[in-house]
A and B are shown apart, each in its own frame.
Chain A
């Protein structure tokens, strides 16, 4: 086992401490963004599941409430169509919000730089 030495380990610790701070901007646009996007996608998934959008889509031709007669099928189809459109709209709304949040994540540092620069230009 190599003998760990203070003169080696101390500078290593200082470097890793500084490196950790300097990694921050890189993290924001790589791992940080992936993590944030992952959370938003999980949120979309949950919304989709709770709205049952795909289940409604898959069952568009299946009569509701077990009404297998002709009238039942026709009524069912249109009701389902309305439901799908409505649920689809809700889902679209959440997707738009999520996308906006992701864009905000990416734009935030740049916007901060811009705003700071604007402030500094002629105070």
Chain B
């Protein structure tokens, strides 16, 4: 259930506060006092003692009988029939047994009373028409024993604190003592003790003068909502869990406390839903098993009017039979789709086609129908029928097309004659295109289409959306069938579908699954697995995580929990995204962004802080998740660190420099290079789209963007705006997890001149946008970037720092060979000066270091002058020398 919302509370003159629900006025009337609670407790205790006494008497009686039988074993062995007439023997033991039989009968009576005491909500009343004179309903009569106990506890808590009212907070504190509620919080991974401490701090309010606090209006409202919830769930009584989901709505402080523990409305609702689902699954499973026992186990209908179908039986398997013996998984949350299938069938459609992306649960819907058919909870024309799945691969295997057609025709004929069969064909598109040869001959799908048009058989088929539009839509078969769409469930629906599977997983792998694991499985799979669909991808992900947890448990039995960390690890295994990056909170990463970048990037302080703050801005703007994480245009002369900054951002943000997809836009100058980028219909894969499809979590670097063809620039217009592209095969590729950085040399000379003239960077940027960029790019594209960042030419000081950084890298590489490197500051300065060229930035420096330092070292190593434990020394003249290490 999405969005549980409270009922509207009104005031009634006679009954006080209440709310209208399904034509009845729900109100609250129940007295609480310490004495009443004490009396009720005595009564419960007396009942319990009575039950124990009666039970003991019953046991003693049976023991007496056994003793008597033992004493008379010789006589009884001679004539065993005498056992039946044991009561004719006058014996104190027999008398004792006879008297104790009363207590057996009495226990039956007590048991039945307990059963009926559990049924507090009369659903016949709720299903019947409202009688005008009695629309008032006291919800206090619907409380379960557990709920009564919780309310009594909350009253006692309030009374002890001398409060004038029993508030929602008191009630919530008492709720935390209920086992079902405690279990819910365990699933949520909440430390109950800390929650209790927090709640306890907020329990006191205005003190009352008497010691009989009244139930507060807000608490009555909670009870009313909870009662409506229990009624609509067809529960027998109002349970503590019903109230849990409503407490935070009626108390702001409580909502804040829960929010601090990262518990929002959705989480609490979904966990409550989980417990309800489990209870319903257990109940419906029991009912299902009972009804399944009544379904015929043979291929015949009950009246034996059906005709045997040997050929069909050979090429198919019976889904109703599989359902009867419990071999199909239970179908959850697909009522709407199943009903629309029934409606389509009832309106006289003989072919129903379930169309949906793969993984959305088409097979589960078919299973659900098979189960309903077993229970006979289906429209009349489906009752006493079989759902039979044709195995297409078996139908066509080892046969020529003509044979296959013959087989299919026989199956269809048998189905038509039998009259008790609904055909199911999974992936029906496989039938298209198998034809017996000669021109004008029908293919298999047309054979089937013909019988569907003649309405001689019923057929329920599935096809995934892609194949439907590509293969089936225009064929005779596609036209002969009515489509029913199976949509991808929403996140909350998917969470609830997963919850229904948890018991099975837990049982199989003996691992405890937390709610956060389920939630993360749904959220992460929808975030990172773009070409698959819910709920299947979330189920696969959760299963992988559970299997990993089960393996960990074998190593260390204490780790029998599948939490969101396991799910993160599982998705990182599936996608290659570093797991720690998934769990580490993004805000932490963003706050320390500048430091992270400056660890490997020298200078360009303004550019770095512009990128960092732009990334923060882009992510703090919570509304737009349909765009890339951020997009930048880097402007500046060559060699000033544009690409280096992109690499650094990739390393800091994604955890590795390799999460960068680099495109040299000079390779995309022709109009037809668009195919190279996004692929085409013939099956050529696009370089960009394929890379992002495989690694959605990455930085895309578009080098020298101004050189690309205008058509390609238009492509980026859409990409930056919608965060997606459609590739040549028609797949939608999502860029919402990517950072996009374009670089350009436009106006490089202008920037150098202006910086030399000490102009303001903002003015330079504006001038570039207004007068230089617009010659190559359309203004709307320029505007789409989150930030346009101007890189300044490097100063001598920058170059010195870069040289130091590069030498540090070299020192690290040499350390692998056991060689040390020491450099004189003067020498490095000299190198930096020699490598400095304002026109080319840091590039000449790299070349210089290669020529003068690396080459020198390499020569010395080859000549055997430089060995392990030696130290390379760069002196003040920037010459290379060797300090010999000590000999061993």
For B102, the closest partner residue in chain A by CB is A112
A56 → chain B closest CB, angstroms: 7
Beyond contacts A28-B109, A49-B294: 17 other A-B pairs, Cβ-Cβ < 8 A, are: A2-B31, A4-B33, A9-B36, A20-B113, A24-B109, A28-B105, A46-B290, A46-B294, A50-B294, A52-B302, A52-B303, A55-B303, A58-B303, A66-B306, A66-B307, A66-B419, A119-B87
Q: Which residues of A contact B47 (CB under 8 A)?
A: 17
Q: Which residues of B contact A64 (CB under 8 A)?
A: 304-305
The residue that B90 contacts in the complex, of A13, A31, A65, A122, with Cβ under 8 A, is: A122
Residues A13 and B109 in contact, CB atoms below 8 Å apart: no
- A119 with B40: in contact, given A35-B112, A66-B305, A66-B307 (CB under 8 Å)? no
Residues A112 and B304 in contact, CB atoms below 8 Å apart: no
- A10 with B39: in contact, given A66-B306, A123-B95 (CB under 8 Å)? yes
Kindly state the separation between the CA atoms of A1 and B30 in the bound complex, as whole angstroms. 9
- A56 with B303: in contact, given A112-B101, A119-B94, A123-B90 (CB under 8 Å)? yes
Candidate in B35, B108, B303, B419 with the most chain A CB atoms within 10 angstroms: B303
Q: Which residues of B contact A4 (CB under 8 A)?
A: 31, 33, 35-36
Q: What are the 3 A-B residue pairs with the smallest beta carbon separation, nearest first?
A: A6-B35, A66-B307, A59-B303
The residue that A65 contacts in the complex, of B40, B109, B113, B306, with Cβ under 8 A, is: B306
Q: Which residues of A contact B95 (CB under 8 A)?
A: 116, 119-120, 123
- A115 with B87: in contact, given A5-B35, A59-B303 (CB under 8 Å)? yes
Q: Which residues of B contact A63 (CB under 8 A)?
A: 305
Asked if A107 lies at the interface with its beta carbon under 8 angstroms from chain B, I say: no
Q: Which of B1-49 contact A (CB under 8 A)?
A: 31, 33, 35-36, 38-40, 42-43, 46-47
Kindly state the separation between the CA atoms of A108 and B101 in the bound complex, as whole angstroms. 10
Q: Which of B658-717 contact A (CB under 8 A)?
A: none
Q: Which of A100-123 contact B (CB under 8 A)?
A: 108-109, 112, 115-116, 118-120, 122-123
The residue that B99 contacts in the complex, of A24, A66, A116, with Cβ under 8 A, is: A116
Residues B308 and A65 in contact, CB atoms below 8 Å apart: yes
Kindly state the separation between the CA atoms of A56 and B33 in the bound complex, as whole angstroms. 64
Interface of B is mostly: helix
Q: Which of A1-34 contact B (CB under 8 A)?
A: 1-6, 9-10, 12-13, 16-17, 20-21, 24, 27-28, 31-32
Q: Which of A75-113 contact B (CB under 8 A)?
A: 108-109, 112
Residues B98 and A115 in contact, CB atoms below 8 Å apart: yes
Residues A21 and B50 in contact, CB atoms below 8 Å apart: yes
Q: Which residues of A contact B92 (CB under 8 A)?
A: 123
Residues B302 and A62 in contact, CB atoms below 8 Å apart: no
Q: Which residues of B contact A5 (CB under 8 A)?
A: 35
Residues B36 and A62 in contact, CB atoms below 8 Å apart: no
Candidate in A3, A24, A35 with the most chain B CB atoms within 10 angstroms: A24
For B418, the closest partner residue in chain A by CB is A66
Kindly state the separation between the CA atoms of A116 and B296 in the bound complex, as whole angstroms. 49
Q: Which residues of B contact A59 (CB under 8 A)?
A: 303-305
Candidate in A9, A58, A62, A63 with the most chain B CB atoms within 10 angstroms: A9
Interface string of A57-75 (1 = CB under 8 A from B): 0110011111000000000
Q: Which residues of B contact A20 (CB under 8 A)?
A: 113
Residues A62 and B108 in contact, CB atoms below 8 Å apart: no
Q: Which residues of A contact B55 (CB under 8 A)?
A: none
Contacts between chains A and B (CB distance < 8 A), count: 96
Asked if B68 lies at the interface with its beta carbon under 8 angstroms from chain A, I say: no
5 contacts between A and B (CB under 8 A): A4-B31, A9-B39, A55-B302, A116-B98, A120-B95
Q: Which residues of A contact B290 (CB under 8 A)?
A: 46
Q: How many residues of A contact B (CB 8 A)?
A: 43
Asked if B505 lies at the interface with its beta carbon under 8 angstroms from chain A, I say: no
Interface string of B488-524 (1 = CB under 8 A from A): 0000000000000000000000000000000000000
Q: Which of B86-128 contact A (CB under 8 A)?
A: 87-88, 90-92, 94-95, 98-99, 101-102, 105-106, 108-109, 112-113
Q: Which residues of A contact B302 (CB under 8 A)?
A: 52, 55-56
Q: Which residues of A contact B40 (CB under 8 A)?
A: 13
Kindly state the separation between the CA atoms of A4 and B31 in the bound complex, as whole angstroms. 7
Interface of A is mostly: helix
Q: Which residues of B approach A to under 8 Å, CB–CB? A: 31, 33, 35-36, 38-40, 42-43, 46-47, 50, 87-88, 90-92, 94-95, 98-99, 101-102, 105-106, 108-109, 112-113, 290, 293-294, 296, 302-308, 417-419
- A119 with B306: in contact, given A13-B42, A28-B109, A32-B109 (CB under 8 Å)? no
A9 → chain B closest CB, angstroms: 5
Residues A109 and B307 in contact, CB atoms below 8 Å apart: no
Residues A62 and B109 in contact, CB atoms below 8 Å apart: no
For A65, the closest partner residue in chain B by CB is B307
Q: Which residues of A contact B35 (CB under 8 A)?
A: 4-6, 9-10
Q: Which residues of A approach B to under 8 Å, CB–CB? A: 1-6, 9-10, 12-13, 16-17, 20-21, 24, 27-28, 31-32, 35, 46, 49-50, 52, 55-56, 58-59, 62-66, 108-109, 112, 115-116, 118-120, 122-123
Kindly state the separation between the CA atoms of A62 and B304 in the bound complex, as whole angstroms. 9
- A13 with B43: in contact, given A4-B35, A50-B294, A119-B98 (CB under 8 Å)? yes
Q: Which residues of A contact B306 (CB under 8 A)?
A: 65-66
For B29, the closest partner residue in chain A by CB is A1
Kindly state the separation between the CA atoms of A84 and B307 in the bound complex, as whole angstroms. 20
Kindly state the separation between the CA atoms of A69 and B717 in the bound complex, as whole angstroms. 75
The residue that B304 contacts in the complex, of A2, A3, A65, A120, with Cβ under 8 A, is: A65
Candidate in A4, A12, A108 with the most chain B CB atoms within 10 angstroms: A4
Q: Which residues of A contact B42 (CB under 8 A)?
A: 13
Candidate in A13, A17, A62 with the most chain B CB atoms within 10 angstroms: A13
Q: Which residues of A contact B308 (CB under 8 A)?
A: 65
Kindly state the separation between the CA atoms of A50 and B47 in the bound complex, as whole angstroms. 42
For B32, the closest partner residue in chain A by CB is A4
For B376, the closest partner residue in chain A by CB is A49
Q: Which residues of A contact B294 (CB under 8 A)?
A: 46, 49-50
Residues B98 and A6 in contact, CB atoms below 8 Å apart: no
Kindly state the separation between the CA atoms of A56 and B42 in the bound complex, as whole angstroms. 59
Candidate in A16, A64, A66, A119 with the most chain B CB atoms within 10 angstroms: A119
Kindly state the separation between the CA atoms of A8 and B90 in the bound complex, as whole angstroms. 49
Q: Which residues of B contact A9 (CB under 8 A)?
A: 35-36, 39
For A119, the closest partner residue in chain B by CB is B95
Residues B105 and A108 in contact, CB atoms below 8 Å apart: yes
Q: Which residues of B contact A6 (CB under 8 A)?
A: 35, 38-39
Q: Which residues of A contact B112 (CB under 8 A)?
A: 27, 31-32, 35
Kindly state the separation between the CA atoms of A59 and B303 in the bound complex, as whole angstroms. 7
Q: Which residues of B contact A65 (CB under 8 A)?
A: 304-308
Kindly state the separation between the CA atoms of A78 and B23 in the bound complex, as whole angstroms. 57
Q: Which residues of B contact A119 (CB under 8 A)?
A: 87, 90-91, 94-95, 98
Candidate in B39, B290, B307 with the most chain A CB atoms within 10 angstroms: B39
Kindly state the separation between the CA atoms of A105 and B50 in the bound complex, as whole angstroms. 24
Q: Which residues of A contact B46 (CB under 8 A)?
A: 17
Kindly state the separation between the CA atoms of A93 and B43 in the bound complex, as whole angstroms. 46
B50 → chain A closest CB, angstroms: 7
Q: Which residues of A contact B303 (CB under 8 A)?
A: 52, 55-56, 58-59, 62
Kindly state the separation between the CA atoms of A4 and B38 in the bound complex, as whole angstroms. 12
Kindly state the separation between the CA atoms of A123 and B106 in the bound complex, as whole angstroms. 26
For A57, the closest partner residue in chain B by CB is B303
Q: Which residues of A contact B88 (CB under 8 A)?
A: 118
Residues A13 and B87 in contact, CB atoms below 8 Å apart: no
Kindly state the separation between the CA atoms of A20 and B54 in the bound complex, as whole angstroms. 14
Q: Which residues of B contact A24 (CB under 8 A)?
A: 105-106, 109
Kindly state the separation between the CA atoms of A46 and B290 in the bound complex, as whole angstroms. 9
Q: Which residues of A contact B87 (CB under 8 A)?
A: 115, 118-119
Q: Which residues of B contact A52 (CB under 8 A)?
A: 296, 302-303
Kindly state the separation between the CA atoms of A27 and B864 in the bound complex, as whole angstroms. 108
The residue that B109 contacts in the complex, of A10, A27, A108, with Cβ under 8 A, is: A27
Q: Which residues of A contact B304 (CB under 8 A)?
A: 59, 64-65
Kindly state the separation between the CA atoms of A68 and B94 in the bound complex, as whole angstroms. 67
Kindly state the separation between the CA atoms of A32 and B90 in the bound complex, as whole angstroms. 31
